[in-house]
Chains A and B, each alone.
Chain A
Amino acid sequence: MYDRIDLRLTSFAQRLSDAEGDAVQRTQRSSRSALVVAAYPKLANRAWLARPDRVLWGIYDGGFPDSFAGLSNTESRLHYSFPIVSIYQAWGDRPDEAHFPSRLAQTIDRLGSVPMVTWEPWVKDFDEARRPNLPPANEREYASLAAIARGDYDFYVTAWAAEAAKFGRPLFLRFAHEMNDPYRYPWGPQNGNRPDDFIAAWRHVHLIFQKMNATNVLWVWSPHISMPWFEYYYPGDEWVDWTGTGVLNYANVASWSRWWTFHQILEKGYPALAKLGKPVMVTEFGTLTEGGDARQWYADAFRDLGDKYRAVRAVVFFNQPHDSTLLTQEPLDWSMLQDPGATLVVRERLSHR
Chain B
Amino acid sequence: MRMRSARAWLDASEVFRHRRARPVARWERWLLGVLLFLGAQSVVLFALWWFRRERVGNPVLFALLSIATWYGISRIVIGWYNAFHIEQPPLRDATPGHSVAIFITSSPGEPYAMFERTLAAAAEVRYPHTTYLLDDTRDPRIAALAAQMHAVHLELIGIPGAKAGKINAALRLTTEELILVLDPDHVPFPEFLDRVVGYFDDAGVGFVQVAQAYYNAPRSFVARAAAEQTFAFYGPILQGMHGTGTAVAIGANCTFRRTALESIGGHGIGLAEDLVTAIRLHAAGWKSVYVPEVVARGLVPEDLDSYLRQQLKWARGVYEVLLREYPRAFRRLTMHQRIAYLMVGTYYLVGLTTPIYLLIPLLYLLTGLQPATMFLADYLLRAFPVGLFGVLIYRFVQRWLCDPVRERGWHWRGMLLKIGCWSVYLKGLLFAIGNVAVPYIPTSKERRTGNFRQLAAVPLSVVVLSVAVVLWAFAHRLFSMPEAEVRMTTEASVAMSAFALFNALLMSGRLYAAWKDSDRNRQDRGGDISSPSSPSAG
Contacts and interface: CB of A to CB of B under 8 A. Distances in A.
A228 B19 CA distance: 90
A24 B483 contact: yes
A72 B482 contact: yes
Given A5-B381, A10-B377, A28 B490 contact: no
A17 B485 CA distance: 11
A9 B377 contact: yes
Contacts of B377: 5-6, 9-10, 13
A76 B376 CA distance: 30
Interface string B475-486: 001111111111
Nearest to A111: B484
Interface residues of A, number: 36
Nearest to A12: B377
B490 A17 contact: yes
Interface in B366-392: 368, 370, 373, 375-378, 380-381
A32 interface: yes
Interface stretch (A46-54, A61-69, A131-139, A260-268): A61-69
Contact of A69 (B378, B381, B482, B494): B482
Contact of A111 (B54, B57, B487, B494): B487
Contact of A20 (B54, B381, B477, B479): B477
B487 A30 contact: no
A31 interface: yes
Nearest to B478: A27
Interface in B443-498: 477-491, 494
B80 to A, nearest CB: 24
B484 A68 contact: yes
B258 to A, nearest CB: 61
Nearest to A11: B377
Contact of A67 (B52, B380, B485, B490): B485
Contacts of A103: 491
Given A13-B377, A16-B494, A32-B483, A23 B478 contact: yes
Given A5-B381, A17-B490, A94-B54, A25 B483 contact: yes
A27 B489 CA distance: 17
A337 to B, nearest CB: 15
Nearest to A1: B381
Contacts of B368: 67, 69
B194 to A, nearest CB: 56
Contacts of A18: 487
Contacts of B480: 28
Contacts of B52: 94
Contacts of A256: none
Given A2-B381, A6-B377, A96-B54, A21 B485 contact: no
A248 interface: no
Nearest to A109: B487
A71 interface: yes
Interface string A325-341: 00000000000000000
Contacts of B477: 20, 24
A68 B490 contact: no
Contact of A107 (B380, B478, B484, B494): B484
Interface in A25-84: 25, 27-28, 30-32, 66-69, 71-73, 75-76
Interface in B289-303: none
Contacts of B378: 6, 95
Given A23-B478, A68-B482, A107 B54 contact: no
A140 interface: no
Interface string A282-323: 000000000000000000000000000000000000000000
B490 A20 contact: yes
Contacts of B483: 21, 24-25, 28, 30-32, 72, 111
Contacts of A20: 477, 486-487, 490
Contacts of A104: 488
A71 B484 contact: yes
Contact of A68 (B54, B57, B375, B487): B487
Nearest to A72: B482
A30 B486 CA distance: 13
Nearest to B495: A13
Contacts of A111: 483-484, 487
A124 to B, nearest CB: 16
Given A2-B381, A111-B483, A13 B478 contact: no
A110 interface: yes
Contacts of B487: 17-18, 20-21, 68, 107, 110-111
Contacts of A17: 487, 490-491
A21 B482 contact: no
A25 B481 CA distance: 11
A20 B375 CA distance: 18
Nearest to A15: B490
A30 to B, nearest CB: 7
Nearest to A23: B478
Contacts of A95: 54, 378
A24 B54 contact: no
B426 to A, nearest CB: 32
B179 to A, nearest CB: 59
B130 to A, nearest CB: 66
A24 B491 contact: no
Nearest to A95: B54
Nearest to B377: A9
A111 B54 CA distance: 26
Interface string B338-381: 00000000000000000000000000000010100101111011
Query: Which of B370, B378, B483, B491 counts the most A-chain CB atoms under 10 A from its CB?
Result: B483
A72 B491 CA distance: 18
A13 B490 contact: yes
A68 B485 contact: yes
A24 B486 contact: yes
A272 to B, nearest CB: 37
Nearest to A30: B483
A18 to B, nearest CB: 8
Contacts of A67: 368, 485, 488-489
A10 B375 CA distance: 9
A24 to B, nearest CB: 5
User: Which of B482, B488, B491 is most buried by chain A, counting CB atoms within 10 A of its CB?
Assistant: B488
B54 A69 contact: no
Nearest to A16: B490
A45 to B, nearest CB: 23
A31 B483 CA distance: 8
A13 B376 CA distance: 9
Contacts of B490: 13, 16-17, 20-21
B486 to A, nearest CB: 5
A9 B491 CA distance: 10
A272 B166 CA distance: 99
A13 B54 contact: no
Interface in A105-135: 107, 110-111
B267 to A, nearest CB: 56
A24 B378 CA distance: 27
A280 to B, nearest CB: 27
A6 to B, nearest CB: 6
10 contacts: A6-B378, A13-B375, A20-B487, A66-B370, A68-B488, A69-B368, A72-B484, A75-B482, A76-B482, A107-B488
- Top 5 A-B pairs ranked by shortest CB distance? A9-B377, A72-B482, A17-B490, A68-B484, A68-B488
Given A9-B377, A31-B483, A66-B370, 20 more contacts: A6-B377, A6-B381, A13-B377, A13-B490, A16-B490, A17-B491, A21-B486, A21-B487, A21-B490, A23-B478, A24-B483, A32-B484, A67-B368, A67-B485, A72-B485, A75-B482, A94-B52, A94-B54, A107-B484, A111-B483
